[in-house]
Amino acid sequence: MNNKLGVYICHCGGNISDYIDVEKVRQSVENEEGVFLAKTTMFACGDSNQKEMVEDIKNNHLDGVVVASCSPKLHLLTFRAVTERGELNKYNYVHANIREQASWAHSDDKAGATEKAIHIVKAAIAKVRFAESLVPIKISSIKSVAVIGGGVAGMKAAIELSDLGCQVYLIEREYFVGGRVSQWDSLFTTNETGKELVTRLYNDLVKQKNITVYTGAEVISNSGNIGDFKLKIKITPRYIKAKCNQGELQNAIDVCPVEVPDDFNFNITGRKAIYHNFPSEYPQSPVIDIKNCTRCGACEKICENVDFTQKEEIMDINVGSVLMATGFDPYTPADGEFGYNSFDNVITLPQFKRIIDLSNEKLTFKGREIKNIAYIYCVGSRQVEGENKYCSRYCCTSAIHAAIIAKKKFLNIYNFHFTRGIRTYGKQEVLYDESSRMGDIYLQSYENDPPVVTGRNDKAVVRINDILTGKREMEVEADLVVLVTGMVPRKDNSVGSLFKLPKGRDRFFNEIHMKLRPVETVIDGITISGACQGPKNIMETANSALSAAAKSYSYVSKGELELEPIIARIDKDLCTWCNACAQACPFNAIEMEEGKTKNVASINNSACKGCGMCLPVCPTDAINLIAYSNNEIESMIDALAG
Amino acid sequence: MIMQEQIKDASYDVLVIGGGIAGGEAALNLANNGFKVLIVEKDLSIGGKMILLSKVFPTLDCSACITTPKVSEISRHPAITIFTGSEVKKIVKIAENSFEADVLRYPRYVIAEECTGCQLCEQACPVIVKDEYQFNLVGRKAAFIPFTIASPKVAAIDIENCTLCGACEKVCPPKCIDFTQEKEEYRIKVKSVIIATGFKLFDPLLMPRYGFGLYKNIITSMQMERQLAPTRPFNTILRPGDGKVPCKVAYVLCTGSRDATIGNPVCSQICCMYSIKQAQLLMGALPMADVTIYYLNIRSFGKGFEEFYEQAKGMGVNFIKGKIGKISELENGNLKLRYEDINENKVKESEHDIVVLSVGVIANLDTATFFSEQQLKLDSFNFINQTDPLASPARTSINGVFVAGTASGPMDIPDSILSAGSASSEAMCYLIQKK
Amino acid sequence: MVDTGKKNARILVFSTEKISDPAIDMAGLLKLHYPPTIYAISIPCSSGVKPKWILHAFEKGFAGVFIAADGSDCPYGESCTEKTGKIVSTTHELMKQKNIEPARLRMAAICSVCSESFVKQMKSFNENLLKMQGA
Ligand SMILES: Cc1cc2nc3c(=O)[nH]c(=O)nc-3n(C[C@H](O)[C@H](O)[C@H](O)COP(=O)(O)OP(=O)(O)OC[C@H]3O[C@@H](n4cnc5c(N)ncnc54)[C@H](O)[C@@H]3O)c2cc1C
Ligand SMILES: Cc1cc2nc3c(=O)[nH]c(=O)nc-3n(C[C@H](O)[C@H](O)[C@H](O)COP(=O)(O)OP(=O)(O)OC[C@H]3O[C@@H](n4cnc5c(N)ncnc54)[C@H](O)[C@@H]3O)c2cc1C
Ligand code: SF4
Ligand code: SF4
Ligand code: SF4
Ligand code: SF4
């Protein structure tokens, strides 16, 4: 029990003393048990008072300090620091809020406010008597980070982390890095191609000594916590030897008899069972798609680099932090949605991007030349009926940009945009201007009256009641209908569940706070970046990746982390190990510990967040939260009731 | 004239120019990773525009409540030094990892370390001038604390308006008013620079057909923002003409944006959303009021934004897709809007008792003055040019100089914060790699 | 000035450090008045309130206890609302056994900017408790 307390009551200029009789408060508390000195001060936070407090604490060897002033959100840390400068452990400081919760809240009732302030200060005194000196929980943190996903976000973050001196494991589920961006040709707003951008990043990546890239790899389990996550990674083999002869391999690809739809090209073309997405892909080695391979052995005969003996591997890695960069999937329209899969010239924007890339001189699809193109916007986004209420943010700009590129690359292209109001925000607006100047036609549908796609001969007809021309019904016969599909979370997002990452209303991974902690998750040590957190273009992806990298770096850079020691504590005598607390704990911080006579609960100090959810469930009241123990709370209640 | 020997030297790892949310966030990131930072802020308080906002979209959390803890963390941080009321005159890059900046600190005429923020000087001062922090809606004294949540929360003397009557000097308890203070010049050595000088608001006087400045009941969105803030000038929403509580409010979106004829073809990216936010707050504050938003396209593109827009529609905010032609004033101070209703393809008129112009984001041209020997490239809209916008959005045309927040183009707060994270991250690499 | 002759009910509020206590602070900042016999003890999360603390408060003479819950804003996870709800129902049972009207314990989610709703809740709770006292 602390018995030599210093109590300071602040006037706060007049903010407090205009409504509260500060001197009366002082007199009412100076004789409370344990109080050694009680003073009033004009500004407790002012430099002069801080100095005086430091002297008081030192000279009198105070063992507890209370300041009654403004809200603890403003100055709790200030006075903890003062306490520490007075050579007293900072957890022996308790804050009493008599401004926001007394003088201001009851500025209409001075007597009532004064009475309340007296009780609040007494409660703080009661609490500080039980305060203990605590040391922050120090845990060591491994200076390495696992980056999950090797798209732009993951590659950029990995390079950054490595530059900062961390060991990085880049874990990519596909056999090639680059993510979605490697699928796009010309990019807004620079017109660099996706391949060029990925090549640039990959060249930076391989220069780094401390990045290990795993492709065909997935995290299959996680245990451990911030500072020391223990991950198991499953690596599926390429069935190709590491050093290989590209020429021979090309021959092997040629002879493979199996052909399957190529999902890199969104199934508009096919590929072999031994394949690469495009010749300059990274890493520059093909892969055998073992699910579709018939083991006919044709490739093996031609090329000695093929190696069917390679085995799946399980790797264990330990990292201090995990950075998620698993990206998005393009929305897949339902059958019949705007004629998708009903008419064979209705495709999605990602497919259209691939067709532009794959066509030379003439824009053709399924052998037919394309002239009139109708773009239907917001497919899978801003749904009136469906559950995707959000705007996918990239797609207006991307569709307009693709339309401009098509018009520039090929002759006789006519673009008709069926929009829901164009959202080329910021500087992207100039693309919208450019396309309007190039003669593209813009139409806009009503929220509840989307365009309708029907067939006529071998064309699709798109019909709309157009807002921009005053509800006129307009019709376009299109050679190609491009559904401007939005972004949705990855279909297989199981890695999120593995780490218990919460999802937002839009089902993308959720940050703690959009403005205060935009790349952190509620799971300490795990950051999120890029399109897995929500739709983003590449610039926004890079910004979020760099922010997440800096955050992850801060968890591991010092090799050590300090956590607040406000955690749960088990009274082993009372505990009967009923498991109720372990089930209530949202952070898996409670485990069973085998004792000599009985099993008891035990708190993992580095996992416990001090929420207290375990307290009320314990049938024997064996758990207390440090600084909020029964003693503390009940004696505060006594003081407030008195 | 300042003598050479009066120039003070100091050195830091990084110079952050501008102490808005972007600059502050960048500084904190750097300082938390062990780098020494100097923030040079032109204004008397850090916090930028954000500290003056009401609640922020799309979560509607109180802007001050988010900003003040950040601001106090910044001002308390042992690795961060802040010069408020200061300007960067010139920066020279000497070599990689070596910059020299000339910084001028203007006097506050108050010894900041000793001022307790008691406001007695403010009460004593007889001079009243327009309060720029309340966007001229009300007045302030010549001895004043910029605003209640300013950081540092210390007084300053507005020497241009001060009559040197000495009233404040007499009442100040710690005797910290000091009229003898003078400009101080610093020569600062740093290894890297982050520019976070933010944006300017479009000046609606440049669009005379809207009648801003002429008609009293036309205000800017920033003036409305102040009326809705917890530290608001009045206790309710008033129209400035006659102090009447408005009941028919109009918002004119894209004021000063998306219009090549006034030299700004780009979309400001935030004004749709902040207008929708204000409309929701107005419906809460004045339950009887009608709020109409005149727009061209609603750009609610970010996380939770579209839902926020739908929420406003659900609350009964009117959205009219229409181009405003001209605004004129009626005898009772109400305003007549002539507009083209795009949905109905007709020219129409409507009457409102207050009109809010949702002014756009304009580049802050101060950035052009920082470097004289190296060229800091600007883009065609005078924002700082991002030389590698896709892979390294914070890079500028000078290696070692990075840009954070709206200094590179329009952005909302979440994007400004990510951009600041990106700039600080790149700066850290630059410092560690010494490249 | 309120009529100081009128007695108010003594209410204990369990607020949460990150979510509801800031709202109570803001009620003060905005000078939204409520009875001065309302006291807050702030804890990390509303799902950490022990029923015995609540009973202790009644024993010591509090007329009502209010849990200003984190609701869906809880930084510790979605289960908060449900868990806090459970604490309330368990305590209601215990209160019945001790012949304390369950209406003396209330809970509501108070978000970090819900100052007005907090004050409304407090005023109506106070009124109700006074009525119960009178009856
Ligand atoms: C049609 C279209 C055109 C576009 N055009 C442009 C443009 O021109 N300009 C522009 O700025 N933006 C454009 N974008 C947006 C751009 O594609 C995204 O901003 C970018 O891809 C996001 O990068 P990312 O790294 O977050 O995600 P992704 O690119 O999706 O990369 C994620 C990576 O993570 C991997 N992964 C997923 N799950 C796991 C797992 N469990 N374990 C391991 N690895 C995993 C994936 O295989 C992938 O490699 C376009 C988007 C679309 C749909
Ligand atoms: C009316 C209105 C409402 C808004 N509402 C929202 C909202 O609800 N949600 C949201 O997300 N966003 C909102 N915004 C946008 C938000 O204000 C910006 O995104 C954000 O303030 C940008 O921060 P910044 O630090 O880049 O710039 P700024 O806030 O402009 O900060 C720049 C700082 O640099 C200083 N400075 C300028 N020049 C110099 C110089 N030469 N030397 C030294 N210092 C200098 C300035 O004094 C300032 O402190 C709103 C904007 C407005 C106008
Ligand atoms: S960006 Fe455009 S196309 Fe995409 S969802 Fe938003 S409004 Fe629709
Ligand atoms: S206090 Fe919270 S985090 Fe800690 S053990 Fe209890 S329930 Fe788990
Ligand atoms: S009177 Fe003095 S101490 Fe008080 S605010 Fe003014 S300058 Fe500061
Ligand atoms: S954000 Fe909205 S109001 Fe602002 S310029 Fe863009 S379209 Fe206009």
Q: How many CA atoms lie within 13 A of A414 on its CB side?
A: 7
- Nearest alpha-carbon partner for B312 in B335, B334, B295, B336: B295
Q: Which residues are CB-neighbours of A27 under 8 A, at least 6 positions away?
A: none
A427 pLDDT more than 60: yes
Ligand 4 atom closest to the CA of A613, numbered from 1: 7
Confirm if A94 and A126 have CB atoms less than 8 A apart: no
Confirm if B385 and B397 have CB atoms less than 8 A apart: yes
Q: Which residues are CB-neighbours of A469 under 8 A, at least 6 positions away?
A: A443, B345
Is residue C104 a part of any domain in this protein? yes
The first and second tokens of residue B413, run together, are 């707060």
Q: What is chain B's alpha carbon radius of gyration, rounded to the nearest angstrom?
A: 23
Using pLDDT thresholds of 50, 70 and 90, give the confidence band for residue C30: confident
List CB contacts (< 8 A) between C113 and chain B. Answer: 55, 60-62, 65
Alpha helices for A173-317 (secondary structure H): 194-207, 246-255, 298-302
Distance from CA of C41 to the nearest CA of B (A): 21
Co-location of A279 and A400 in the same domain: no
Does residue B177's CB lie within 6 angstroms of at least one atom of ligand 5? yes
CATH of residue A599's domain is 3.30.70.20
The first and second tokens of residue A87, run together, are 């050579």
Phi, psi for residue A594 in degrees, rounded to 5: -80, 125
**Cα–Cα dist B424/B402, whole Å:** 8
For chain B, how far is it from start to end, CA to CA, in angstroms? 38
Tell me the mean pLDDT in the region B339-343. 92
Co-location of A316 and A218 in the same domain: yes
What is the pLDDT at residue B57? 92
A483-509 residue pLDDT tens: 999 999 999 889 988 887 878 878 999
Q: Which residues are CB-neighbours of A515 under 8 A, at least 6 positions away?
A: B56, B59, B61, B66, B413, B414, B417
Using pLDDT thresholds of 50, 70 and 90, give the confidence band for residue B1: very low
Co-location of A453 and A375 in the same domain: yes
Confirm if B367 and B343 have CB atoms less than 8 A apart: no
Is residue A182 a part of any domain in this protein? yes
| SS3 letters across A364-378 | EECCEECCEEEEEEE
Using pLDDT thresholds of 50, 70 and 90, give the confidence band for residue B255: very high
Ligand 1 atom 2, closest CA:
A350
Is residue C6 a part of any domain in this protein? no
Distance (angstroms) between ligand 3 centre and the Cα of B61 equals 26
B65 pLDDT more than 70: no
The first and second tokens of residue B404, run together, are 């954070």
Tell me the mean pLDDT in the region B162-190. 94
Domain B107-181 sits in CATH at 3.30.70.20
CB contact under 8 A, C39 and A640: yes
Domains B107-181 and B201-361 share a fold: no
Give the position of tokens 């609701």: C71
B92-114 residue pLDDT tens: 999 999 999 999 999 999 999 88
Q: Which residues are CB-neighbours of A196 under 8 A, at least 6 positions away?
A: none
- Domain edge (last residue) among A85, A104, A135: A135
Co-location of A470 and A431 in the same domain: yes
* % of chain A exceeding 90 in pLDDT: 75
State the sign of the Cα–Cα–Cα–Cα dihedral A271, A277, A279, A284: negative
Q: Where are the domains of chain B?
A: 4-106+183-198+364-433, 107-181, 201-361
CB contact under 8 A, B62 and C113: yes
Q: How many contacts does A have with C, using Cβ atoms within 8 A?
A: 140
Counting runs of H as helices and runs of E as strands, what totals does chain B give?
8, 24
Query: The domain containing residue A444 runs over which residues?
Result: 330-488
CB contact under 8 A, A621 and C52: yes
What is the pLDDT at residue B71? 82
Return the partners of chain A (3 or more C-beta pairs < 8 Å). B, C
Point out the residue among C31, C37, C77 whose CB comes nearest to the CB of A107. C31
Distance from CA of C29 to the nearest CA of B (A): 8
What is the pLDDT at residue A596? 86
B435 pLDDT more than 60: no
* % of chain A exceeding 70 in pLDDT: 99
CB contact under 8 A, B33 and A557: yes
What is the pLDDT at residue B77? 86
- Nearest alpha-carbon partner for A162 in A205, A214, A202, A203: A205
Is residue C36 a part of any domain in this protein? yes
Is residue C46 a part of any domain in this protein? yes
List CB contacts (< 8 A) between A505 and chain B. Answer: 304, 307
| SS3 letters across B163-201 | CCCCHHHHHCCCCCECCCCCCEEEEEEECEEEECCCEEE
What is the pLDDT at residue C106? 96
Amino acid at A439: G
What is the pLDDT at residue A13? 67
Residues B343/B344/B345/B346 CA torsion (nearest 10 deg): -130
List CB contacts (< 8 A) between A638 and chain C. Answer: 60
A355 pLDDT more than 50: yes
* β strands within A100-256, DSSP E: 137-140, 144-148, 167-171, 211-214, 217-225, 228-235
ipTM of predicted complex: 0.95
Point out the residue among A101, A115, A641 whose CB comes nearest to the CB of C62. A641
A263-302 residue pLDDT tens: 898 988 899 999 988 777 888 888 999 999 999 989 989 8
Does residue A576's CB lie within 6 angstroms of at least one atom of ligand 1? no
Using pLDDT thresholds of 50, 70 and 90, give the confidence band for residue A480: very high
Using pLDDT thresholds of 50, 70 and 90, give the confidence band for residue B37: very high
Q: How many CB atoms lie within 10 A of CB C17?
A: 16
Does residue B196's CB lie within 6 angstroms of at least one atom of ligand 2? yes
Domain covering B201-361, topology:
FAD/NAD(P)-binding domain (3.50.50)
Does residue A340's CB lie within 6 angstroms of at least one atom of ligand 3? no
Using pLDDT thresholds of 50, 70 and 90, give the confidence band for residue A327: very high
Whole-angstrom CA distances from B391 to A162, A470, A540, B97, B420 are 16, 43, 10, 22, 15
Instruction: Give the neighbor-by-neighbor strand order of the sheet with B192-195.
Output: B80-83, B37-40, B14-17, B192-195, B401-403
In CATH terms, is domain B4-106+183-198+364-433 a member of 3.30.70.580? no
Residue in chain C lying closest to A72 (CA): C17
Phi, psi for residue B90 in degrees, rounded to 5: -165, 140
State the sign of the Cα–Cα–Cα–Cα dihedral C69, C72, C77, C80: positive
CB contact under 8 A, A424 and B379: no
Q: How many domains does chain A have?
A: 5
Does residue B157's CB lie within 6 angstroms of at least one atom of ligand 5? no
Return the partners of chain B (3 or more C-beta pairs < 8 Å). A, C
Q: Identify which has the larger pLDDT, C135 or B169.
A: B169
- Domain edge (last residue) among A459, A488, A517: A488
Least confident of A45-54, A335-344, B79-88: A45-54
Total residue count of chain C as it appears in this document: 135
Q: Name the 3-class secondary structure at B19.
A: coil
Co-location of A391 and A335 in the same domain: yes
A101-130 residue pLDDT tens: 999 899 899 999 999 999 999 999 999 999
Q: How many domains does chain C have?
A: 1
CATH of residue C45's domain is 3.40.50
